[in-house]
Amino acid sequence: MRMRTTRTMHARARALLAAVCVPPVLLPCLLPGVLMAAAWEPADILIRGGTVYTGAEVPPQQGDVVVTGDKIVYVGPDAGARYRARRVVDARGKIVAPGFIDAHAHPETYIRSADPTQRLNAPWLFQGVSTVVIGVDGYGTPDLATERAWFQAHPIGTNVVAYVGFGAVREAVLQHAARAPTPPELDSMRALVATGMCEGAIGLSTGLFYDPQSYAKTDEVIALAREAAKRGGIYDTHQRDESSYTIGLLASVEETLEIGREAKLPVHFAHLKALGVDVQGSAPQVIALIEAARAAGQDVTADQYPWTASGSSLSAALLPRWSTDGGRAALLQRLDDPAQLEQIRVEMQENLRRRGGAQSLLMIDADRSWTGQTLAQLAARWAVDPIDAALRVIRGDEQGDSVASFNMTEDDIRLFMRQPWVVTSSDGSDGHPRQYATFPMKYAKYVRADRVIGIDEFIRSSTGRTADLLKLDRRGYLLAGYFADVVVFDPARYAPKADYVHPRVLSAGVEELLINGRPALQGGKLTRAARGRMLLHAPTPGTCP
């Protein structure tokens, strides 16, 4: 294939030469360079000789990728015979793929920084990620117009895609109230979701695990999801219960599926997992529920991060929901009331058991005296009960209680990872190594070391499949006419460098990363180009003012 194409190109050049070198047109024959230029198309970047994975379900090919402006113009063999590029990237021995898409991320510290260097979003660039999904867990603002203006005025390194968040909408109307909305309040909430969708959100995200979102009943969520459905959006959820806190994992999966059926839109499970000792090992049942829904025609997908510890806070992991109703001030009041404190302690004890005990919670906030210690170690150091140690941290500082909670089994992680409807996400939040190392971790551990999935599946689940489910316009594939988000990485060196105790170490092995056609990483180094865009979903025609 390759040889034939080369010969064809050379034959074309010879024919052109012969045609022009007939007298009286002699002059051009003295200038073969000029002649050849007629056969070449100018291009900006030619990535040559790599193993090219296009993001689709097709085997990789040795070949080239050519970029001009912000678009891919050619993918295939022997681009050098047709294109003359201003810059050539030697990708021999390297893997060339679409830039990775992170389906669930928390990059706020970076992309909202006043510092342009921070806004390059380097933790993601060094993983080969070109697009991050924000506004997840129900926290996305409905005011996407302001978001967009902000990102235009404060350029960022990666593309962003945003959800409008149920939590942001509910708090805007009901604040922290633990009750259902009145009909006029529900109308106000609907209008806010509509605003977000009309300004380019890709759907509605919820975090029904978190208060005050947890106060919402299923029908309230369905009513709002319908506003996203109308405009072609999807429903993304950090579901009500990933464990055995309230309704239980399986009932929570059922609730999510019901929301999709009733509101008539695709549902997407954020960071799918079986969390805690009561539900560990139930991945097969979760998968069976989702497979049954898919077999019945429902559009159901999920994302997943490849780590056995989730990131949370002591408050969210241990405190009973009712204790935080009304916000932090109300919580502190309850902790000062001996009767309520006793009930809180009892429920915290149960939540700690569910999570796997005090040794399974690792304190990961930077620069605290307890950073890198488990709750068990901290309790021993303070010579108090683990619950009292947790309460001391919670009372003392609302920002300082982040934990890595080791609560998932490898078996569940591997089974979820093999499902053809699961994509990669980092859930990357401050202090957890997944923020810096999720994609290389999935590759180094689950592809190379343990062979849980193939490299083709790793790339597909990090690119094209994700772009499809998020309905991104011309992203996620290496195809002519698509936006030039392209990663080149060394398959031998691509690996995580961060760990739980040193979570902020950049990953290794990405040599080139193009975002909208411009190198964000070149020769493995930051270029400082901030060419990320906010990618807006086009709402269904006729559904917006």
Q: What residues make contact with Zn ion under the rule CB under 5 A?
A: 137, 238
In the complex, the smallest distance separating the C-beta of residue 208 from Zn ion, rounded to whole angstroms, is 10
Question: Cα–Cα distance between 193 and 505 in angstroms, integer?
Answer: 37
- Least distance CB 242 / Zn ion (angstroms): 9
Contact 469, 234 (CB under 8 A): yes
Question: In the bound complex, what is the minimum distance in angstroms from residue 330's beta carbon to Zn ion?
Answer: 23
Least Å distance, CB 427 to Zn ion, is: 6
The contacts of residue 346 (CB under 8 Å, 6+ apart) are: none
**CB of 238 or CB of 442, closer to Zn ion:** 238
In the bound state with Zn ion, the residue whose beta carbon lies nearer, of 124 and 489, is 124
Name the packing angle between helices 249-263 and 218-230 (round to 10°): 40
Of 316 and 508, which has the nearer Cβ to Zn ion? 316
Closest approach, Cβ 163 to Zn ion, in A, equals 12
Rounded Cα gap, residues 182 and 17, in angstroms: 79
Q: Can the peptide bond before residue 212 be classed as cis, meaning omega within 30 degrees of 0?
A: yes
Cα atoms in the 13 Å half-sphere on the side-chain side of 194:
13
Closest CB to Zn ion: residue number: 238
Instruction: Pick between residue 137 and residue 401 the one whose CB is nearest to Zn ion.
Output: 137
Nearer to Zn ion by C-beta: 271 or 345? 271
| Shortest spacing between CB 248 and Zn ion, in angstroms | 18
User: Quick one: CA torsion of 497, 501, 504, 509, rounded to 10 degrees?
Assistant: 0
As a whole number of angstroms, the distance between CA 303 and CA 268 comes to 8
CB of 138 to Zn ion, least distance (A): 9
Least distance in angstroms from the C-beta of 207 to Zn ion = 6
Q: Please say which residue, 137 or 211, places its beta carbon nearer to Zn ion.
A: 137
**Which residue lies nearer to Zn ion by CB, 136 or 223?**
136
65 exposed, middle or buried (CB, 10 Å; 0-12, 13-18, 19+)?
buried
- Beta-sheet pairing, 402-406 with 510-515: unpaired
Q: How many Cα atoms occupy the beta-carbon half-sphere of 431 within 13 Å?
A: 21
In the chain, what is the greatest distance between 2 CA atoms, to the nearest angstrom? 105
Q: Which is nearer to Zn ion, 83 or 269 (CB)?
A: 269
Find out whether 122 and 157 touch, Cβ atoms under 8 Å: yes
